[in-house]
């Protein structure tokens, strides 16, 4: 199948072609795909920062243990969790449901109250972890959409979130960086593009119960 | 773009057509896609259980707060984290790299020792969280691959992991369930298929820095 071929084509890029800028249409598709990702309860606790600024990318690269992909990439996508998931945030979601679908408050209210109650019982660490999980889910979607649209990418956990937060001014937006992913087009001389994929055998990683 | 249309087509299915069994070719593609997902350090700490057994699905549905999709679905995918990520596990990964790529031990050893050292410093909760993150990343990939291949799906956090672990005999496989996702084909009368998607405006959820 086409999508499997695309997943085989993708790899974690070690060197981007610095001279290629991704066309706006591809960036728009990525933004759309990001926004369409399923999230827990539909609460969308993640925002995406799209950086296309070489000076800033240089600084972000320093805060990414000098991984040069961040500096070379056409764009850098930073997935950031909302740091204030409270009753107001949840109520806003239900307001949106009502506006989009015209669902009555009578129907929405019990679930809304239940959700607000459930989140009020979580510690701030638990809420942060819940949001972080959603960032990973979104990354999984974006990686596949990048592959499907022939965008090269390098997903990264290896960076210093506090420094990203500072460089991107995230704190005053009530955001905290979780994951980063430079995207662009692979350099012709990135030898990693030619390496065989290392994976367990499918029979080793999949258990079937019929 | 085609992939965006597919993401718009997908929704969290509330009712599957119980009479439709997904063809083997589609299940094989899902297994392949699962196995091709990028994971942190390439360590693949997640296995996938594929359940196609109505009696077992009935039991899993009970352990999913009676969400009937689990019972109705053609197949149920359960993403499970490895509970024993230790020096042996990591060493096995490097053995595989050597076998697949023929990379010499001289090149692999420093990174291998660094990774083993880094994991030995993590608490078991930290390792579990790290693996859980990877399950979410895989779910994000699978959701998109399902959409691309016209498989309907319902990703779920709402189930009782301890009961799944028991029903699937996961403990003796050193596995613990993290996420579950029934897949199949939507029922003709699932009204949720007709609901408008509720999402923030893209301008609200994406921040551009140029």
Residues B100, B110: contact at Cβ < 8 Å? no
Note whether residue A108 is domain-resident: no
Give the domain range for residue A43.
2-83+123-205
Q: What is the average pLDDT value for chain A, to the nearest integer? A: 97
Note whether residue A210 is domain-resident: no
pLDDT at residue B1 tops 90: no
- How many distinct structural domains can be found in chain A? 1
Q: Does A197 touch chain B (CB under 8 A)?
A: yes
Res B206: pLDDT = 98
> pLDDT above 90 covers what percent of chain B?
100
Q: Does B205 touch chain A (CB under 8 A)?
A: yes
Closest chain A residue to B26 measured between Cα atoms? A1
Note whether residue B104 is domain-resident: no
Q: B140 vs A145: CB contact, 8 Å cut-off?
A: no
**Residues A42-86 pLDDT 10s:** 999 999 999 999 999 999 999 999 999 999 999 999 999 999 999
Please give the ipTM for the structure prediction. Answer: 0.98
Q: What is the average pLDDT value for chain B, to the nearest integer? A: 97
Res A121: pLDDT = 97
Res A1: pLDDT = 80
Q: Which residues of B touch A183 (CB under 8 A)?
A: none
pLDDT at residue A128 tops 90: yes
Res A22: pLDDT = 98
String of DSSP letters for B56-88: HHHHHHHTTTT-THHHHSSEEEEEEEES--SHH
pLDDT at residue B152 tops 90: yes
CA pseudo-torsion sign B9, A143, A158, B175: positive
Note whether residue B38 is domain-resident: yes
Res A18: pLDDT = 97
Res B188: pLDDT = 97
Q: A38 vs B143: CB contact, 8 Å cut-off?
A: yes
Cβ burial B46-67 (10 Å sphere, 16+ → b, else e)? bbbbbbbeeebbebbbbbbeeb
Q: A202 vs B145: CB contact, 8 Å cut-off?
A: no
Q: Which of A46, A139, A206 sits opposite B31 (nearest CB)?
A: A206
Report the alpha-carbon angle A46-B77-B72, nearest 5. 105
**Residues A149-174 pLDDT 10s:** 999 999 999 999 999 999 999 999 99
Give the closest-approach CA distance of B184 to chain A in angstroms. 15
Q: Does B116 touch chain A (CB under 8 A)?
A: no
Query: How much is the average pLDDT of B38-64?
Result: 98
Note whether residue A101 is domain-resident: no
CATH number for the domain harbouring residue B186: 3.40.109.10
Give the closest-approach CA distance of A12 to chain B in angstroms. 8
């Amino acid at each position: 199948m086409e999508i499997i071929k695309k997943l085989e084509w993708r790899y974690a890029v070690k060197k981007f072609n610095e001279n290629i800028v991704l066309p706006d249409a591809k960036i728009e598709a990525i933004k759309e795909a990001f926004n369409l990702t399923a999230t827990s309860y539909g609460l969308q606790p993640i925002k995406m920062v799209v950086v296309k600024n070489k000076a800033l990318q240089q600084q972000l690269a320093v805060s990414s243990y000098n991984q040069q992909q961040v500096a070379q990439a056409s764009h850098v996508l930073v997935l950031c969790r909302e740091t204030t998931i409270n009753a107001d945030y949840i109520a806003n979601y239900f307001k949106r449901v009502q506006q989009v679908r015209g669902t009555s408050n009578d129907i929405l209210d019990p679930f809304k109250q239940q959700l607000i109650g459930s989140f009020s019982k979580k510690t701030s660490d638990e809420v942060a972890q819940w949001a972080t999980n959603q960032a990973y889910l979104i990354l999984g979607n974006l990686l596949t959409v990048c592959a499907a649209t022939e965008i090269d990418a390098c997903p990264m956990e290896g960076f210093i979130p506090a420094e990203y937060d500072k460089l991107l001014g995230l704190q005053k937006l009530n955001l905290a960086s979780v994951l980063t992913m430079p995207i662009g087009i692979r350099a012709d001389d990135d030898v990693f593009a030619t390496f065989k994929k290392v994976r367990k055998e499918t029979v080793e990683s999949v258990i079937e119960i019929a």
